[in-house]
Amino acid sequence: MVKSELIKQSPLRILDDSTHGGVGIGNIGVLAARQGTGKTAALVHLAIDKLFQDKHVIHVTFSQRPDHILAYYEEIFTEISKLKHLEGAMAVHDDVIRNRTIMNFNDQKASSTTHVIESLNARIKEGAFKANTVIIDEFDFAHSTPADIKAFKAFALAQNLEIWFSISLDKESDAQLAHDVPEVLKNFVEEVAVLINLKPSKGRIHFALIKDHGHKPADLHLLLDTKTLLIVKE
């Protein structure tokens, strides 16, 4: 399969369609789930889908393990290219690497919102890297204020990009999310355009759309394949 066909057939088109064109420039999307349900894998698939479209992605982590994230990209890229018999996979792979940067912030001081935005700007401006999507993995919402999210939103608007956050929920918050906004997200939900919950049930992980801009959330019919860690149609 050639790259353009692969983009067209990607299950992520369902996500775009169901969320009125995706997160959108200057907006924020949040992927919330319990620890170990595949948030990073889902975000990496989302990122690779953007990279296939020749878009640029910055992946921010606070994990201290950028190698670990790189391995995720390699794995998921390989799975997709194998599954879809991608033509010229090597050349596509080189482009994917060129258009992606992992930025890792190790300690508290480096992880402050002002500092992260400063570094992102440095990467975009001085590094001449026209980012379209920024992924902020495992963001610490519990220790952040609405001002932090507003600052990220302003940055997104100024740089013409969208931001995806992921957040780990505890058991109670995760259960609550189905019918109500849990405490940890309460102060932020206003600023969030798209909110998705990953829900494991009966050995499958479902994508549940909780918030879709101002619209009534539709049923996504998407799953995370627990074996390949790819997002697939239900």
Partner 1 sequence: MKMDISKMRNIGISAHIDSGKTTLTERILFYAGRIHAIHEVRGKDGVGATMDSMELERERGITIQSAATAVSWKDYFVNVIDTPGHVDFTIEVERSLRVLDGAILVLCSVAGVQSQSITVDRQMKRYSVPRLAFVNKCDRTGANPFKVKDQLIEKLNHNAILMQLPIGLEDKHEGIIDLVTMKAYYFEGEDGMDIIEKDIPTEYTKQAEEYREKMIDAVSMYSDDLAEAYLEGKEMPPAMIYDAVRKGCISLTLTPVFLGSAYKNKGVQLLLDAVTRFLPSPKDRPVTCLDLDNNETEVTLQAVDSMKTVALAFKLDDGQYGQLTYVRIYQGEVKKGMELYNIRTQKKFKVGRLMKMHANHTEDIEEAGAGDIVALFGVECATGDTFCDPSLNYSMTSMYVPAAVISLSITPVDKKSGDQLAKALNRFTKEDPTFRTFVDQESNQTIIQGMGELHLEVYVERMKREYKCEVTTGMPQVAYRETVTEVADFNYTHKKQTGGSGQYARVAGSMAPYAEADYLFVDNIKGGSIPNEYIPSCDKGFQSSLYKGSLIGFPIVGVKMTINDGAWHPVDSSDLAFQQAAIGAFRETYLKAKPIILEPLMKVVVEGPTEFQGNIFGSINQRRGVILTSTEDGQFCQVDAEVPLSEMFGYSTVLRSMSQGKAEFTMEFLRYGKVPNNVSEDLKKAYEAKRKADQK
Distance separating the N- and C-terminal Cα atoms of the chain: 22
Q: Which residues bind partner 1 (CB under 8 A)?
A: 64-67, 69-70, 94, 97-98, 101-107, 109-110, 115, 119, 122-123, 125-129
Report the nearest approach of partner 1 to the CB of residue 128 (Å): 5
Length of the chain: 234
CB-based contact 31:172 (threshold 8 Å) = no
Report the nearest approach of partner 1 to the CB of residue 159 (Å): 15
Query: Tokens in use for 207?
Result: 């994508």
Residue 63 or 226 with smaller CB distance to partner 1: 63
CB-based contact 99:79 (threshold 8 Å) = no
Report the nearest approach of partner 1 to the CB of residue 87 (Å): 14
How many angstroms separate the CA atoms of 219 and 207, rounded?
A: 9
Closest CA to 111 of 72, 138, 71, 74: 138
Question: CA torsion 205→211→212→215, rounded to 10°?
Answer: 130
Residue 129 or 228 with smaller CB distance to partner 1: 129
Q: Which residue has the tokens 């860690």?
A: 229
Report the nearest approach of partner 1 to the CB of residue 223 (Å): 30
How many angstroms separate the CA atoms of 12 and 31, rounded?
A: 14
Residue 10 or 101 with smaller CB distance to partner 1: 101
Residue 36 or 126 with smaller CB distance to partner 1: 126
Report the nearest approach of partner 1 to the CB of residue 66 (Å): 4
Residue 91 or 232 with smaller CB distance to partner 1: 91
Closest CA to 40 of 6, 72, 87, 82: 72
Residue 18 or 132 with smaller CB distance to partner 1: 132
Report the nearest approach of partner 1 to the CB of residue 29 (Å): 23
Query: Tokens in use for 20?
Result: 């009125």
Residue 6 or 60 with smaller CB distance to partner 1: 60
Report the nearest approach of partner 1 to the CB of residue 38 (Å): 22
> Quick one: how far is CA 137 from the chain centroid?
7
How many angstroms separate the CA atoms of 110 and 119, rounded?
A: 9
